[in-house]
Structure formats: C-alpha cells, structure tokens
Structure 1
C-alpha cells in the first residue's frame, strides 16, 4: 500500500469537500434528527457523497465506513477508510463556523493515515504512522511543556450514546472543571485533536468517544509527539475494534498525562462508589 499516494488522494478529497461545505453553508440548511438524538444536514450528505466518490474511485478494493451511510465498498477489504464529512454538524446548524472534514485509513484496525481539513481557515493537517504529522506551516512537533499555573486548557469529547445522567460523565466533568483553566466542548472532536497537535491546548479527554472521528485525529496528535493513554493507563492507539466502553482516553503533553490520569481515575472511582 502506497500511503503517500493515499495521503494525496485523501487531502484532495477533504479539501474538495471543504470547498463544497464553505460554498453551501450560508444557504438554506435542511436539518433532520438522527437516531440517538443527534442531527444530520444536507451538507453532511453532500460532502460524504463527494468523499466516497473520490476514495472509492481511487481505491475500489477498500472498505469504507462513513458517518452517515455506514459501510460500503469491499466488505472484506484489508484496508478500511473512516469518513466524517462534517465534524461539527451541530455548530453549523447553530450558525457557528466551527467544523472540519476528516478521513482516516486503517489497516488491521490500526490507523495508518489521518487527514483533517478546516474549510473556514482553508487549512489541512495530516499524519502517516511512523512518518510524523504536518500542517500548512510544515511538520508538527511536540513543543516543550509550558507553565500552567491556573490549570491546563483541554478539550472534552464524548460519544453520542452517553446518557446525560451517566454517573461517570458527571464525575469526570466536575473534576475537570475544577482542575482545568478551561474545558472546551467544541462539538467537533477532530478540531480538538488539531488544536492539541498544534500546541494550542494542553490535552483532550474523551469518554466513550465515537469511532469514526477518533482514529485520524488521534494519529495526528500522536505523530506530533503527544501521549495518549486509556483510562487504565495503557497505550491507546484508537483501534477501530474497540467497544465504546474502551474508547475513553487522556491525550496530552507527556508531562501532564499522569496528572490527568490520576484525576480521571479518582473521578470514575467516586462514580462507582
């Protein structure tokens, strides 16, 4: 598999989808409810159609898992693409210009390529496993720890299926609000990963995160030098075969990981008590 070729195809695809979204986002927006309480718009569907045409046209033997249309392509394909055509749908529905397009390519359930495009800023970031991460200004690399006297700035993400009254959810959010200077709830998880990889924020904490938008962004952060651990402290690689209960993690600057892991461990223990 030529991952450099796959990267070029993916970058061209997400940027074309970004052009489509940027051109149409000011028009009339068709919004409907999805199962589980989330929403989908006409923009999601149109951008996904474009992405599927580009990816399946270039890689007809690959399997594709898309946010809106589900599984398509070769059912037994050795390689699997994950497609999130509009990460931040709720923001778009509210008129907030916070949304991105993301794709990832996985082999044996492990992300090998991740690409994220911001249509508003017209910027793209990508990573290939073992080859580092890059963005509009060139390579992304971990920067030395900065002082956080008033607590870290972090982004929070959770799965759509997490109930509002989930005891662990409430305990985690309370603990993070007390410890952090600011907890960002972006409604666009891939954007949070990019902010982390660029060094704009200090951490991303996820609780039972969604599977489609997790691997690509996580890979960009890892390849930029950030550390990602599961709530149990083990290395977390965003494998696509993990069930929701095992998709909880802390991603942060290396010096901050243990502190945050201790915080989430204590919070989840209190929730179980």
Structure 2
C-alpha cells in the first residue's frame, strides 16, 4: 500500500529522532563546516536514516539535506527539506533542546511537515490542512495561544537586515520587556511551540525560502492558524524576508510595531 506524504514525513522524522536519542551523551566525532559551525556524527547518521526512508518511498523526489546538500534538481516540483538535528550546538553541549525536521515542498508550497522532539517523545506534524502533536501514538490538534507571553528570538546569524533590524535589539526594547518574556533556545523546535500554544511568537531574520531549518515549523504554524509573515508584515519569503510567527493578530501587531522601532526615521 502506498504511504502518503504525511505518513512518510512522520516516519522519516521519527526515524531520525530515534538516532538522535540513541546517540545522546555518547562521544561524537565533529565535522567542522565553518569557523562557527559543525556537524556531529549524530547529525550525519540521522540524516542518512531520514534520506533512506524518503528515497525508498519516493525515489524520484529531490531532497535537500542540511549535511548532504541537494540531490536531484533544485527546480524539482517535489523537494524534501531535511534538518536531521536542529540545535547541534545544544546537543553537543548535552542540552536536549533540539528538533528533527522533515518537510515536503510541492511547487511553491510546503504541503506536509514533521518536527520531532526526540527527548519529549513528541511529533508535531501537518498534512497541510491541520496540525497535530502525536504522543504515544495519539494525535492532538494544535491550538495556538498568546497566553504564555513567551517569545523566542533567534540570535543566530546570518543577519541580512542588520542595518535596519537586529533581533537582539528587541531584547532591550522597553516595550518588548513590558509585554513579553524573551526566550532563546537556538532550535526551531520553538517554532513548533508557537503552533502548539507553548510560545506566543517566534521572531528571526534571514531568507528562509526552502530552509531546511524553518520549513517544517512554518508549515505547522500556518496549518494551526498562526499569523505568519516576514519581519515587515509582508508575505512570507518576499522583500526583506525574516519571520514573525505569532499565535494571534494582536501579538503579531505588537511585534510588528516593536520591530518597526528599529527602522530608520525616514522609512
């Protein structure tokens, strides 16, 4: 029987999460990718496990993996986006704030996605219409909520808009401090938490189209009914880029105003 795309995303993410969980705390080889970035043997093993599942079920599809890069055509109609261990530095430091992300873009839209939390035993997933969290085989529909007042702010580079916007400056804005409580976990697991009602919002700079890090979380937020735009409130993946994913319109409007405080006066 043919497995659906949503089933494949879940299966692949869970397989990767099992590797990440099993290798946690063990001595791991590191592979330097740049001066400030590296992968571990767990990243590579988890990605290979995920890719094996995808290729076995969808051998004609293109895949972009965080560690292995692009397989197939970059202009392919169907492209899987795989981040086998989002939060590698956390993981290497024996912090459990990580995610395993698998998403499928069909045309210009991400149709299905899954973000697995290996240590909480949770799988956040969407079929493109609704979003759920699966625990012990039981699915619960995700419901965004601003009630926590917690906003995750991504401080990791790159910062393509640094002349007019830096996420770190939000943390010193009196209006932000008055209304929200900042969090920085350095993993896109926090984007899934917006969809789940565990965060009021998530803010980052960057150009995120076909991002293996963000595709799953964005798709979850959109399917759950969050307000999702670029940092100027523009349609996602246009203009300056960036991301504001908020639980509701009021939270989104407040963050837009705070982000706008950083723009030059003549803007």
User: Normalized against structure 1, the TM-score is what?
Assistant: 0.84
SS in structure 1 of the partner of residue 185 of structure 2: coil
CA contact (8 A) 1:158 1:209 kept: no
Show structure 1 runs of 5+ residues with no match.
none
**Residue 200 of structure 2 corresponds to which residue in structure 1?**
202
CA contact (8 A) 1:231 1:250 kept: no
Count of matched residue positions in the alignment of Structure 1 and Structure 2: 257
State the distance in 1 between where 2:194 and 2:256 align.
17
For residues 6 and 119 of structure 1, do their structure 2 counterparts lie closer, same or farther at Cα, with a shift above 3 Å needed?
A: same
Give 1:34 deviation, angstroms. Answer: 1.6
State the distance in 1 between where 2:116 and 2:243 align.
24
SS in structure 2 of the partner of residue 233 of structure 1: coil
Report runs of 4+ in structure 1 exceeding 4 Å deviation: none
**Residue 162 of structure 1 corresponds to which residue in structure 2?**
159
**Residue 104 of structure 1 corresponds to which residue in structure 2?**
103
State the distance in 2 between where 1:248 and 1:256 align.
14
Give 1:84 deviation, angstroms. Answer: 0.3
State the distance in 1 between where 2:263 and 2:187 align.
24
Show structure 2 runs of 5+ residues with no match.
none
Q: 2:142 aligns with which of 140, 143, 158?
A: 140
User: Normalized against structure 2, the TM-score is what?
Assistant: 0.86
For residues 180 and 93 of structure 1, do their structure 2 counterparts lie closer, same or farther at Cα, with a shift above 3 Å needed?
A: farther
State the distance in 2 between where 1:76 and 1:167 align.
32
Instruction: Give the alignment of 1:1-273 within 5 angstroms.
Output: 5-35=4-34, 37-74=36-73, 76-129=75-128, 131-136=129-134, 137-143=139-145, 146=147, 152-158=149-155, 160-162=157-159, 168-169=165-166, 170-175=168-173, 178-189=177-188, 191-208=189-206, 210=208, 211-236=211-236, 245-269=240-264
What is the alpha-carbon root mean square deviation over aligned residues?
A: 2.5
State the distance in 1 between where 2:185 and 2:207 align.
14
State the distance in 2 between where 1:19 and 1:26 align.
14
SS in structure 1 of the partner of residue 222 of structure 2: helix
